[in-house]
Amino acid sequence: MSQDCFRFVQMDVPGRIGIDEGRYLLRGSENEEDETVVVVQTFGAEPAGRPRRRRRRPSPVDLPEPPTEVPVTRLTVIPADEGAPEDLERELDSLARDGDAAEAAVLDGLRVANRLMRAHRIATQDPYGHEIARSAPAAIRVGFGTGGELADGRWTRAVDIPAPERRRRRTEALRPQERLAELLAGREAIDVCEMLLLRARADLDLGRPREAALQLASGLDALLAELPERGGAGQEQDLASLQERAGSMSRLSAGAVRGQLDAEETEQVAETLAICERVLRRRQALRDSA
């Protein structure tokens, strides 16, 4: 009889992520029974957590040295639900033909990996910790294997998942560079709302609607204070809509402090955040065309 197998999503992230090598068990919330194991391995350098020899003082360097070898951290996300090899074989064949399904599997794996990153950041009180972006891994693969295989970093079968293609016109590709030049030259300032709304987007995309609501409430207040006089033409309707939503977002964020948001409240957060982002994009487009 063939041995049941487990699905997995594996990502190779350049550098150290600060988490020691090992196996980490993640459980769902009180209302969920799902379990997922994340295996963390480091290749190409000493693993995180191993004591390294330290110099007591800076030492002189005569000539530039080759760049230090960068380690690679491998995270393997393994949901606990098992499946027959033949069923998982068909599932993987289907996923390999469906780019959207493959990308959804990758994003699910990233969400779990970022749960681990977030828990580690809180446990170590590291204010500079960060999530793993979709573009960060040098390689991502999806597949299945037995428990013994996956524990050793092996698998029965896997496929590499390329980064999603995003075709952009040359003018669109240049805009971030133009804004960067303006910011670095001091000709533009970074508005408070911009960072708050970016944090809200990250929280929402990573399945943290409570945190997203709290960031959005502050970001919306800042946007309404900072942009009306500098938002540019054609923003009146969206800014009016945001003014109308400000009160409900404030109440919603107050509720988020006390507990989880329901599906309708989460959708309100998503809709309001999308309008805020549209206002910021339109403002930048108006600047570029001026």
Q: What value does the mean pLDDT take over residues 84-91?
A: 95
Residue 284, token pair as written in the block: 């930048």
Mean pLDDT across 91-98 = 94
> Which is higher by pLDDT, 80 or 176?
80
Can you name the residues that pair with 160 across neighbouring β-strands? 141
Placement of tokens 């079968």 in the chain: 157
Task: Decide: 147 and 156 in contact? Cβ < 8 Å.
Answer: no
Which tokens sit at 220?
């919306």
Predicted local confidence at residue 36, as pLDDT: 94
Question: In this predicted structure, what is the pLDDT of residue 1?
Answer: 46
Q: Tell me, what's the pLDDT at 209?
A: 95
CA-CA distance, 215 to 272, in Å (whole number)? 12
| DSSP codes joined into one string, the chain | -PPPEEEEEEEEEES--SPPSEEEEEE--TT---EEEEEEEEESSPPTTS-----SS----SSPPPPPPPPEEEEEEEES-EE-HHHHHHHHHHHHH-HHHHHHHHHHHHHHHHHHHHHHHHHHT-TT--PPPTT--SEEEEEEE-HHHHHTT--SEEEE-PPPP----HHHHHHHHHHHHHHHTTSS---HHHHHHHHHHHHHHTT-HHHHHHHHHHHHHHHHHHSTTTS-TT-HHHHHHHHHHHHHHHHHHHHHHHS---HHHHHHHHHHHHHHHHHHHHHHHHHHH-
Q: Where are the domains of the chain?
A: 5-49+68-160, 170-289
pLDDT higher at 55 or 200: 200
Q: Residue 173: which pLDDT band, with cuts at 50, 70 and 90? A: low
What is the per-residue pLDDT across 211-234, written as a single tens digit (0 to 9) for each? 999 999 999 999 999 987 655 667
Mean pLDDT of the chain: 88
For the entire predicted model, the pTM comes to 0.81
As a whole-number percent, the residues of the chain with pLDDT over 90 amount to 65
- What would the pLDDT profile of 119-144 be if each residue is shown by its tens digit? 999 999 999 888 999 999 999 999 99
Asked whether the predicted pLDDT for residue 29 surpasses 80, the reply is no
Q: pLDDT tens for residues 47-86?
A: 445 555 566 788 777 777 777 788 999 999 999 999 999 9
Question: To 10 degrees, what angle do helices 192-205 and 263-289 make?
Answer: 140
| Contact in structure between 109 and 37 (CB atoms under 8 Å) | no
Cα gap 2→14, rounded to integer Å = 36
